[in-house]
């Protein structure tokens, strides 16, 4: 991890600047009749999990350009996650993906996490790739495959993920399947969905007490004509069919272009079926870009729906919020830190909405003022607040420069020689 003295030294250097910003924000809040301390307390409880697969360099279907010091095992991934958490202090859990993160010693991994200050969030199953030595193939589907034996294998893999999650202290299983077709007529659209429901019934039936199944939909890719769980409608239908232990997970990149994601969030809250998020950003499709890097206003509006739901007591307290990003041209640790901060920023801005003014404007159909109330909160510079909450929790006022000046990347580059086959294609 990073030397705490290094963090303190950097913080001392940045402190005056942050205090100045905080002072300005306090005066702004006073003028607007908002209590900054209440916002601060809520913000201090904001958390988002790190995807274990996000600390390695991603790639596209064309190529992958690995960088020095990439983690070669789940242990090294945890070490990198611990550094992110050390600096930003709002990422105390890691979301594992199996079998990518397979280990025979789950109890040991849990202890390792604890020693690093990390817990484990939802576990993710992988039936979108064939595993070495597998006798059955997912080429034509997994939970919805026409062959019952393949469906059984996919169900069993999901149940094995749950078992691993139990050993790690997780409480949720995220299920994303790549099942779908490339040609009209390739599969029966209704029957594939029925097979999905039947397979998911078996998985939900195997969940231990207190566990939740998170159903993740995605419009397209790798299937390009139809995907079995393609949209929030299919996801909601399935979650309703599967009962109270199944809920929907919203990955921000998995929607049709121009879709109103904040409205989907509101609908899922209404249905009591919002289970969690995979946060990221996109311009064209499932781009897996850094959260808040393309459409920060959309992110703010999603957070606004969450804040509104929480105010009404309608937000589940066990919401599973994670990032799901692919870092192709940046240091993944830097991207994940700044993405966590971007999420925190959007949430802080949503907490600064003047709800009384918004409701009054809505009630009197004053569209302009209603929009302006939201925009005023969105325009508020909350960076000093975020920095000071981080510092209070032992983190860095400026995570990026603290990380860069710490020499962590150079150190792990020396400690982790790249495997010979580091390049090539590959997603994630």
Q: Which of 98, 120, 138, 176 binds ligand PSV (CB under 6 A)?
A: 176
The 8-class DSSP code of residue 130 comes to P
Tell me the window of 131-139, 230-238, 245-253, 300-308 that interacts with Mn ion (CB under 5 A).
245-253
Q: Does 251 bind ligand PSV (CB under 6 A)?
A: yes
Q: Which is nearest to 280 in space by CA: 295, 297, 268?
A: 295
Q: Give me 310's structure tokens.
A: 């929480």
Q: Does 278 bind Mn ion (CB under 5 A)?
A: yes
The Cα 108–Cα 327 span in angstroms is 29
Let me know how long the chain is: 428
The Cα 120–Cα 322 span in angstroms is 11
Answer yes or no: are the C-beta atoms of 179 and 144 closer than 8 Å. Answer: yes
The 8-class DSSP code of residue 43 comes to H
Q: Does 121 bind ligand PSV (CB under 6 A)?
A: no
Main-chain phi, psi angles of 400, to 5 degrees: -65, -50
Q: Does 286 bind ligand PSV (CB under 6 A)?
A: yes
Q: Does 121 bind Mn ion (CB under 5 A)?
A: no
The Cα 212–Cα 131 span in angstroms is 26
Tell me the window of 165-173, 226-234, 271-279, 297-305 that interacts with Mn ion (CB under 5 A).
271-279
Site size toward ligand PSV, by CB under 6 A: 10
Which residue's entry shows tokens 């909350």? 382
Other Cβ atoms less than 10 A from the Cβ of 415: the count is 10
Tell me the window of 54-62, 111-119, 321-329, 386-394 that interacts with Mn ion (CB under 5 A).
321-329
- Based on CB atoms, which residue is closest to Mn ion, 136 or 427? 427
The Cα 35–Cα 311 span in angstroms is 15
Q: 300-339 mask for ligand PSV (x: CB under 6 A)?
A: ------------------------x---------------
- Residue 286 site contact among ligand PSV, Mn ion, none (CB < 5 to 8 Å, cut-off depends on kind): ligand PSV
Q: Which of 57, 124, 187, 192 binds ligand PSV (CB under 6 A)?
A: 124
Q: Does 278 bind ligand PSV (CB under 6 A)?
A: yes
Q: Does 217 bind ligand PSV (CB under 6 A)?
A: no
Within 30-49, the residues that bind ligand PSV by CB under 6 A are: none
- What's the N-to-C CA distance of the chain in angstroms? 25
Interface residues toward ligand PSV, by CB under 6 A: 53, 124, 176, 216, 218, 251, 278, 286, 324, 428
């Amino acid at each position: 991890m990073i030397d705490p003295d290094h963090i303190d030294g950097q913080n001392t250097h940045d402190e005056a600047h942050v205090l100045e910003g905080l002072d300005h924000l306090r005066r702004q809040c006073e003028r607007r009749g908002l209590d900054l301390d209440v916002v601060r307390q809520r913000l201090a409880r904001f958390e988002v999990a790190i995807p274990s697969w996000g600390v390695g360099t991603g790639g596209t279907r064309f190529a992958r350009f690995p960088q020095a010091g990439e983690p070669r095992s789940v242990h090294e991934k945890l070490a990198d996650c611990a550094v992110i958490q050390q600096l930003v202090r709002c990422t105390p859990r890691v979301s594992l993906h199996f079998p990518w993160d397979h280990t025979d010693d789950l109890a040991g991994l849990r202890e390792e996490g604890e020693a690093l200050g990390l817990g484990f969030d939802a576990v993710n199953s992988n039936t979108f790739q064939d595993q070495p030595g597998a006798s059955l193939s997912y080429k034509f589907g997994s939970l919805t495959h026409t062959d019952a034996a393949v469906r059984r294998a996919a169900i069993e893999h999901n149940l094995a993920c749950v078992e691993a999650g139990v050993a790690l202290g997780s409480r949720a299983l995220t299920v994303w399947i790549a099942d779908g077709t490339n040609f009209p007529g390739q599969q029966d659209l209704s029957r594939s969905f029925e097979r999905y429901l039947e397979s998911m019934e078996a998985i939900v039936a195997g969940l231990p007490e207190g566990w939740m199944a998170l159903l993740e939909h995605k419009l397209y890719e790798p299937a390009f004509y139809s995907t079995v769980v393609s949209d929030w409608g299919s996801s909601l239908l399935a979650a309703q069919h599967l009962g109270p232990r199944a809920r929907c997970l919203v990955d921000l990149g998995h929607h049709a272009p121009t879709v109103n994601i904040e409205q989907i969030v509101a609908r899922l809250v209404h249905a009591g079926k919002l289970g969690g998020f995979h946060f990221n950003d996109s311009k064209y499709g499932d781009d897996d870009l850094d959260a808040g890097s393309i459409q920060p206003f959309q992110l703010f509006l999603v957070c606004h729906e969450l804040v509104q739901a929480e105010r009404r007591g309608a937000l589940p307290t066990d919401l599973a919020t994670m990032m799901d990003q692919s870092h192709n041209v940046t240091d993944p640790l830097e991207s994940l830190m700044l993405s966590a901060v971007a999420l925190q920023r959007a949430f802080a801005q949503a907490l600064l909405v003047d709800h009384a003014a918004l409701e009054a404007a809505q009630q009197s159909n004053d569209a302009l003022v209603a929009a302006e109330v939201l925009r005023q909160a969105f325009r508020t510079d909350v960076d000093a607040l975020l920095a000071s909450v981080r510092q209070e929790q032992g983190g860095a006022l400026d995570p990026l420069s603290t990380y860069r000046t710490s020499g962590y990347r150079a150190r792990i580059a020396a400690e982790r020689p790249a495997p010979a086959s580091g390049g090539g294609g590959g997603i994630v």
